[in-house]
């Protein structure tokens, strides 16, 4: 059956995230042509009938969550790289396994990551660090098929280093500068803004040690020329600070600003090791940050100073990072962790309230992707990217402040339905565009094969 051109989502608790942060109990959302046409309160039905009706009774309807930092090629590494420090984690486990990927592994890993995201309410994501061997085309096709909104960032590099000396990548992941720049340009031409803007191509220069100063400058120029956005890991661990000090006499962010990469079209993941002056500059340049609390805590990288970044005017979104460092792609879990870690760090229960965290996971993420006029809130005219959370669970009753229940009590598995552009990707907790049985079966088999091919003992 063809997708219905209009859908009515009826009788839900709508968490709009509009400028007034309204919550409409017993509300209805009429979707037409993939966009939100009308939002009505109880007792006031929309002016037109819809082809399809979905009951949201007993459910919270929230804007689809935006994951601003996802390694699509890491879900196949789940459980393979635990309890190690970042540099050892990369060198001994993650890189050797990823350096053994085939393009089919790349596609299945992307499908598994998307399956988990859709099932836990994520509708948009930034897929970072896509190297050639994962097969950019196969991944882009998988995003089209899955129906999610995804920015795919092609890796750019000209050095196999990372931070301190000796952290050398395996040959399977090393790309020549000319080749990765050429592929980035061709993928931008082919995939940027297809399917009504649902798929985008970004560029991902490798973190410090992975690119020369000249290459960072070239990436800044390429992004401007090609109208593509940039994302990279920055100031994740103290090694980054030492490297930037030693090689450039600057902090990591000062260096990135100097090469022309700071600004509202750039998204920097982690940003844990920032000085007070760095934090002010992140805000001043209106740069975007992808905060990944699970990853930073599990790898013992530190805790990003998120309330300070927000106070300085920086835009901060949330990211699940990857399966070896999180170990899940569940933004609802990530929201709770984002709130409680800052409260603990600052010994201040008032910091990072639930609303702020939900803003980061919706509006902040949308802004980080340059999509703030399209998604991130439930408002007439925006695209219908929505997640319905089933509240008929012991851990979700009773409720008084629905945002509190969503952020502090809900889990990804409470998500019942998801739409992107008004199209259902999940209903009754079942994925409609991704074949769950096939993907999970293939994932186990491919992980076993990858481990034996890579020679890693995990």
Query: Which CB sits closer to Zn ion, 321 or 359?
Result: 321
Query: Which CB sits closer to Zn ion, 257 or 321?
Result: 321
Q: How many CB atoms lie within 10 A of CB 171?
A: 8
Query: Which CB sits closer to Zn ion, 14 or 204?
Result: 204
Peptide bond connecting 15 to the previous residue in cis, omega within 30 degrees of 0: no
Query: Which CB sits closer to Zn ion, 68 or 454?
Result: 68
CA distances from 268 to 152, 234, 299, 409, 410 (A): 15, 6, 18, 29, 28
Does residue 358 sit in helix, strand or coil?
A: helix
Give min distance, CB of 110 to Zn ion, in A: 15
Distance (Å, whole) CA 72 – CA 297: 20
Give min distance, CB of 140 to Zn ion, in A: 20
Query: Which CB sits closer to Zn ion, 146 or 299?
Result: 299
Give min distance, CB of 37 to Zn ion, in A: 38
* Contacts of residue 397, Cβ cutoff 8 Å, sequence gap at least 6: 391
Per DSSP, the residues of 55-97 read E-TTEEEEEPEEEEEE-GGGGGGTTSS-S--HHHIIIIIIHHH
Give min distance, CB of 69 to Zn ion, in A: 6
Give min distance, CB of 88 to Zn ion, in A: 16
Burial of 166 (0-12, 13-18, 19+ CB in 10 A): exposed
Distance (Å, whole) CA 271 – CA 353: 21
The DSSP H or E segment spanning 365 is: helix 365-368
H helix count then E strand count, the chain: 16, 17
Distance (Å, whole) CA 114 – CA 391: 23
Compute the chain's Rg from CA coordinates. Answer: 21
Q: Given the rule CB under 5 A, which residues bind Zn ion?
A: 321
* Contacts of residue 436, Cβ cutoff 8 Å, sequence gap at least 6: 115, 430
Identify any residues that bridge with 419 across adjacent strands, giving them in sequence order.
386, 424
Query: Which CB sits closer to Zn ion, 321 or 334?
Result: 321
Return the closest-CA partner of residue 256 out of 131, 239, 274, 164: 274
Cα dihedral 49, 425, 154, 224, rounded to 10, equals: 10
Give min distance, CB of 236 to Zn ion, in A: 8
Query: Which CB sits closer to Zn ion, 61 or 70?
Result: 70
Give min distance, CB of 70 to Zn ion, in A: 8
Q: Which residue of this chain has its Cβ atom nearest to Zn ion in the complex?
A: 321
Query: Which CB sits closer to Zn ion, 94 or 181?
Result: 94
Query: Which CB sits closer to Zn ion, 29 or 72?
Result: 72
- Listed as own residue / partner, the contacts of 295-298 with beta carbons closer than 8 Å and 24 or more positions apart are 295/270, 295/319, 295/320, 295/321, 295/322, 295/325, 295/326, 296/236, 296/270, 296/272, 297/337, 297/341, 298/82, 298/325, 298/326, 298/327
Query: In this structure, what DSSP letter does residue 147 have?
Result: T
Give min distance, CB of 409 to Zn ion, in A: 28
Give min distance, CB of 148 to Zn ion, in A: 19
Query: Which CB sits closer to Zn ion, 369 or 415?
Result: 369
The structure tokens listed for 163 are: 């931070």
Give min distance, CB of 235 to Zn ion, in A: 13
Give min distance, CB of 348 to Zn ion, in A: 28
Query: Which CB sits closer to Zn ion, 239 or 321?
Result: 321
């Amino acid at each position: 059956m063809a997708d219905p051109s209009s859908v009515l989502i009826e009788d839900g608790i709508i968490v709009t995230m509009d400028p007034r942060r309204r919550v409409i109990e017993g509300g209805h959302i009429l979707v037409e042509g993939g966009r939100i046409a009308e939002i009505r309160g109880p007792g006031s039905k929309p002016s037109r009938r819809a082809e399809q009706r979905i009951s949201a009774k007993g459910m919270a309807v929230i804007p689809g969550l935006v994951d601003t930092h996802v390694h699509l090629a890491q879900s196949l590494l789940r459980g393979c790289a635990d309890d190690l420090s970042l540099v050892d984690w990369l060198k001994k486990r993650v890189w050797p396994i990823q350096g053994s990927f085939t393009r089919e592994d790349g596609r299945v890993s992307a499908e598994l990551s998307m399956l988990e995201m859709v099932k836990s309410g994520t509708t948009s994501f930034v897929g970072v660090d896509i190297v050639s061997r994962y097969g950019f085309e196969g991944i882009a096709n998988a995003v089209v098929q899955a129906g999610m909104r995804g920015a795919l960032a092609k890796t750019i590099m000209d050095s196999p280093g990372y931070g301190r000396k000796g952290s050398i990548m395996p040959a399977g992941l090393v790309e020549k500068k000319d080749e990765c720049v050429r592929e980035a340009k061709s993928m931008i031409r082919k995939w940027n803004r297809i399917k009504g803007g649902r798929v985008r191509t970004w560029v991902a220069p490798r973190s410090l040690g992975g690119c020369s100063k000249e290459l960072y400058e070239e990436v800044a120029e390429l992004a401007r020329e090609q109208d593509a956005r940039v994302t990279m890991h920055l100031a994740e661990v103290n090694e980054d600070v030492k490297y930037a000090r030693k090689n450039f006499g600057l902090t990591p962010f000062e260096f990135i600003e100097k090469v022309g990469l700071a600004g509202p079209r750039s998204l920097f993941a982690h940003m844990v090791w920032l000085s007070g002056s760095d934090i002010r500059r992140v805000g001043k340049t209106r740069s975007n940050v992808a905060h990944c609390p699970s990853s930073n805590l599990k790898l013992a990288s530190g805790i990003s100073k998120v309330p300070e970044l927000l106070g300085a005017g920086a835009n901060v979104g949330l990211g699940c990072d990857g399966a070896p460092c999180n170990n899940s792609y569940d933004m609802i879990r990530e929201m709770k962790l984002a709130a409680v870690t800052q409260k603990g760090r600052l010994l201040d229960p008032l910091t990072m309230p639930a609303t702020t965290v939900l803003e980061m996971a919706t509006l902040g993420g949308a802004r980080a992707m340059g999509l703030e006029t399209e998604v991130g809130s439930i408002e007439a005219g925006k695209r219908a990217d929505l997640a319905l959370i089933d509240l008929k669970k012991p851990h979700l009753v009773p409720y008084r402040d629905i945002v509190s229940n969503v952020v502090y009590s809900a889990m990804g598995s409470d998500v019942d339905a998801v739409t992107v552009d008004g199209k259902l990707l999940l209903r009754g907790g079942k994925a409609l565009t991704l074949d769950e049985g096939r993907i999970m079966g293939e994932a186990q088999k491919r992980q076993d094969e990858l481990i034996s091919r890579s020679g890693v003992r995990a």
